[in-house]
Amino acid sequence: MTARQQFTRRTIVCVAAILLSVPAGTPATAAESDSGTLLRVLTLQDYNTRVVLSGTLLLGVTAGLVGTFTLLRRQALVGDVVSHAALPGVAVAFLAGELTAPGSGRSLGWLLMGAALSGTLAVIAISLLRRFTPIRPDAALAAVLGVFFGLGTALFKTVQELPSGNQAGLQTMILGSAATMTAGDVRLIATAAVVTLLVTLFLFKELSILCFDEQTAAAQGWPVLLLDLCLTGLVVAVTVIGLQSVGILMVALLITPPSAARFWTDRLSRMAVLAIVIGGCSAVAGCLVSATVPKLAGGPTIVLAGSLCFGVSLLFGTERGLLLKWLRQRRNTNRIGRDDLIRAMFEIVESRIAQVDEPSAKNLSAIAVQTDELLGKRHWSRQRLLGLIARAERDAMIRMDSDSGWRFTRDGARIARDTVRNHRLWELYLITHAHIPPSHVDRDADFSEHGLDPQAVEELEQLLAQKAASGVPPSPHPVESGELPVGSRE
Amino acid sequence: MSEHPANLNIPASPSSPAESAAGSLPSMLDQPALAPQRSPLSGEEHPATCPLSIHDMTVAYHRKPVLWGIDYNAPPGKLIAIVGPNGAGKSTLIKAVLNLVPKISGEAMFFGEPYRRQRGRVGYVPQRSSVDWDFPVNALDVVTMGLYRQIGWFRPVTKKWRQRAMRALVRVGMQDFARRQISQLSGGQQQRVFLARALTQDADFYLMDEPFAGVDAATERAIVDVLRDLRSSGRTAMVVHHDLQTVPEYFDEVLLLNLRLIASGPVSEVFTPENLRATYGGKLALLDQVGHRMTMSGEKG
Tell me what the mean pLDDT of segment A332-358 comes to. 79
Q: Which residue has the higher pLDDT, A402 or A282?
A: A282
Dmax (CA) of chain A = 106
**DSSP secondary structure string for all residues of B72-100:** EEPPTT-EEEEE--TTSSHHHHHHHHTTS
Q: Given this model, what pLDDT does residue A337 score?
A: 86
- Please indicate, yes or no, whether residues A183 and A145 belong to a single structural domain of this protein: yes
Of A265, A440, A450, Cβ closest to residue B136: A265
The CATH number of residue A440's host domain is 1.10.10.10
- Spell out the residues 6+ positions from residue B153 whose beta carbon is closer than 8 angstroms to its own: A206
Domain assignment present for residue A30? The answer is: no
Tell me what the mean pLDDT of segment A51-80 comes to. 92
Q: Given this model, what pLDDT does residue A293 score?
A: 80
Q: Given this model, what pLDDT does residue B301 score?
A: 36
Domain assignment present for residue A36? The answer is: no
Q: Nearest residue of A to residue B151 by CA position? A: A205
Q: Does B132 touch chain A (CB under 8 A)?
A: yes
Phi, psi of A486 (to 5 degrees): -65, 135
Tell me what the mean pLDDT of segment A344-367 comes to. 73
Instruction: Reduce the DSSP state of residue A217 to 3 states and report it.
Output: helix
- Please indicate, yes or no, whether residues A300 and A417 belong to a single structural domain of this protein: no
Q: Which residue has the higher pLDDT, B24 or A43?
A: A43
C-alpha dihedral (A76, A82, A85, A89), degrees to nearest 10: -170
What confidence category does residue A169 fall into, taking pLDDT thresholds of 50, 70 and 90?
Answer: low
Residues of chain A in contact with residue B151, where contact means CB-CB under 8 angstroms, are 205
**DSSP secondary structure string for all residues of A168-193:** S-TTHHHH--GGG--HHHHHHHHHHH
Q: Given this model, what pLDDT does residue A8 score?
A: 57
B145/A216 touch (CB, cutoff 8 Å), yes or no: yes
- Please indicate, yes or no, whether residues A214 and A72 belong to a single structural domain of this protein: yes
When mean pLDDT is compared across A254-263, A384-393, B283-292, the lowest value belongs to: B283-292
- Asked whether residue A119 carries a pLDDT value surpassing 50, the answer given is yes
The pLDDT > 90 percentage for chain A reads 33
A205/B156 touch (CB, cutoff 8 Å), yes or no: yes
Q: Does B99 touch chain A (CB under 8 A)?
A: yes
A266/B138 touch (CB, cutoff 8 Å), yes or no: yes
Q: Given this model, what pLDDT does residue A473 score?
A: 57
Residues 173-232 of B with CB under 8 A from A: 179, 181, 186-189, 197, 214-218
Ramachandran assignment for A396, one of left (phi > 0), alpha (psi -120 to 50 degrees), beta (any other): left
CA distance B141 to A397: 43
Q: Given this model, what pLDDT does residue A149 score?
A: 93
**Nearest chain B CA: its distance from A353 CA (Å):** 38
- Asked whether residue A294 carries a pLDDT value surpassing 80, the answer given is no
Q: Does B116 touch chain A (CB under 8 A)?
A: yes
What confidence category does residue A6 fall into, taking pLDDT thresholds of 50, 70 and 90?
Answer: low
Neighbour count for residue A431 (Cβ, 10 Å): 11
Domain assignment present for residue A436? The answer is: yes
**Nearest chain B CA: its distance from A303 CA (Å):** 25
Q: Does B149 touch chain A (CB under 8 A)?
A: yes
CA distance B206 to B199: 9
What angle (nearest 5°) sits at the alpha carbon of residue A296, between those of residues A154 and A56?
85
Domain assignment present for residue A344? The answer is: yes
**Nearest chain A CA: its distance from B145 CA (Å):** 7
Average pLDDT across chain A, whole number: 79
**Nearest chain B CA: its distance from A357 CA (Å):** 39
Q: Is A3 exposed, middle or buried (0-12, 13-18, 19+ CB in 10 A)?
A: exposed
Residues of chain B in contact with residue A437, where contact means CB-CB under 8 angstroms, are 214
Say if CB A347 and CB A479 are below 8 A apart: yes
Write down the CATH number for the domain with range B50-300.
Answer: 3.40.50.300
Sheet holding B236-240: strands in order across?
B122-125, B205-208, B236-240, B79-83, B253-258, B260-266
B135/A72 touch (CB, cutoff 8 Å), yes or no: yes
**Nearest chain B CA: its distance from A482 CA (Å):** 36
Q: Does B152 touch chain A (CB under 8 A)?
A: no
Tell me what the mean pLDDT of segment A234-254 comes to. 90
- Asked whether residue A68 carries a pLDDT value surpassing 90, the answer given is yes
For the entire predicted model, the pTM comes to 0.78
Residues of chain A in contact with residue B97, where contact means CB-CB under 8 angstroms, are none
Say if CB A72 and CB B137 are below 8 A apart: no
- Asked whether residue A490 carries a pLDDT value surpassing 60, the answer given is no
Instruction: Reduce the DSSP state of residue A258 to 3 states and report it.
Output: helix
Residues of chain B in contact with residue A72, where contact means CB-CB under 8 angstroms, are 135-136
Q: Given this model, what pLDDT does residue B150 score?
A: 92
B149/A72 touch (CB, cutoff 8 Å), yes or no: no
Dmax (CA) of chain B = 62
Q: Given this model, what pLDDT does residue A247 score?
A: 86
Of B95, B116, B136, Cβ closest to residue A268: B136
Q: Given this model, what pLDDT does residue A324 score?
A: 92
When mean pLDDT is compared across A83-92, A204-213, B14-23, B106-115, the lowest value belongs to: B14-23
The pLDDT > 70 percentage for chain A reads 73
- Spell out the residues 6+ positions from residue B19 whose beta carbon is closer than 8 angstroms to its own: B49, B76
Domain assignment present for residue A470? The answer is: no
Domain that residue A199 falls in: 2-25+43-312
Q: Given this model, what pLDDT does residue A482 score?
A: 41
- Give Cα A185 to chain centroid, integer Å: 34
- Asked whether residue B131 carries a pLDDT value surpassing 90, the answer given is yes
What confidence category does residue A447 fall into, taking pLDDT thresholds of 50, 70 and 90?
Answer: very low
A215/B189 touch (CB, cutoff 8 Å), yes or no: no
Q: Given this model, what pLDDT does residue A367 score?
A: 80
- Please indicate, yes or no, whether residues A307 and A359 belong to a single structural domain of this protein: no
Q: Given this model, what pLDDT does residue B1 score?
A: 39
Domain assignment present for residue A303? The answer is: yes
What confidence category does residue A100 fall into, taking pLDDT thresholds of 50, 70 and 90?
Answer: confident
Q: Does B250 touch chain A (CB under 8 A)?
A: no
* Domain tally, chain A: 2
CA distance A243 to A169: 12
Domain assignment present for residue A38? The answer is: no
Of A205, A451, A453, Cβ closest to residue B148: A205
What confidence category does residue A166 fall into, taking pLDDT thresholds of 50, 70 and 90?
Answer: low
Of A204, A267, A440, Cβ closest to residue B216: A440
Q: Nearest residue of B to residue A266 by CA position? A: B136
- Please indicate, yes or no, whether residues A211 and A272 belong to a single structural domain of this protein: yes
Q: Does B153 touch chain A (CB under 8 A)?
A: yes
| Alpha carbon separation from A290 to A33, A72, A99, A246 (Å, rounded) | 16, 31, 34, 11
- Please indicate, yes or no, whether residues A234 and A358 belong to a single structural domain of this protein: no
Q: Given this model, what pLDDT does residue A267 score?
A: 94
Tell me what the mean pLDDT of segment B34-50 comes to. 55
- Please indicate, yes or no, whether residues A147 and A285 belong to a single structural domain of this protein: yes
Tell me what the mean pLDDT of segment A64-82 comes to. 93
Task: Pick from A131, A220, A313, A430 the residue to mutate for testing the B interface (most B CBs within 10 Å).
Answer: A220
**DSSP secondary structure string for all residues of A107-125:** -HHHHHHHHHHHHHHHHHH
**Nearest chain A CA: its distance from B175 CA (Å):** 13
Q: Given this model, what pLDDT does residue B34 score?
A: 37
Tell me what the mean pLDDT of segment B166-175 comes to. 94
CA distance B6 to A135: 54
Of B126, B132, B136, Cβ closest to residue A216: B126
* Sequence-ordered alpha helix ranges (H) in A223-296: 224-242, 250-262, 268-292
**Nearest chain B CA: its distance from A304 CA (Å):** 26
CA distance B288 to B274: 9
Residues of chain B in contact with residue A266, where contact means CB-CB under 8 angstroms, are 136-138, 181
Domain assignment present for residue A285? The answer is: yes
Residues of chain B in contact with residue A442, where contact means CB-CB under 8 angstroms, are 186
Q: Is A63 exposed, middle or buried (0-12, 13-18, 19+ CB in 10 A)?
A: buried
Q: Nearest residue of B to residue A454 by CA position? A: B218
Q: Given this model, what pLDDT does residue A403 score?
A: 66
- Asked whether residue B42 carries a pLDDT value surpassing 80, the answer given is no
Say if CB B78 and CB B231 are below 8 A apart: yes
What confidence category does residue B24 fall into, taking pLDDT thresholds of 50, 70 and 90?
Answer: very low
Chain A and chain B share a number of CB contacts under 8 A equal to 94
The CATH number of residue A281's host domain is 1.10.3470.10
Enumerate chain A positions whose Cβ falls within 8 A of a Cβ in B: 2, 72, 202-206, 208-209, 211-213, 215-216, 218-222, 262, 265-268, 271, 436-437, 440-442, 450-453, 456
Tell me what the mean pLDDT of segment B35-64 comes to. 71
What confidence category does residue B287 fall into, taking pLDDT thresholds of 50, 70 and 90?
Answer: low
A211-238 pLDDT per residue, tens: 999 999 999 999 999 999 999 999 999 9
Q: Nearest residue of A to residue B158 by CA position? A: A205
Strands B79-83 and B236-240: parallel
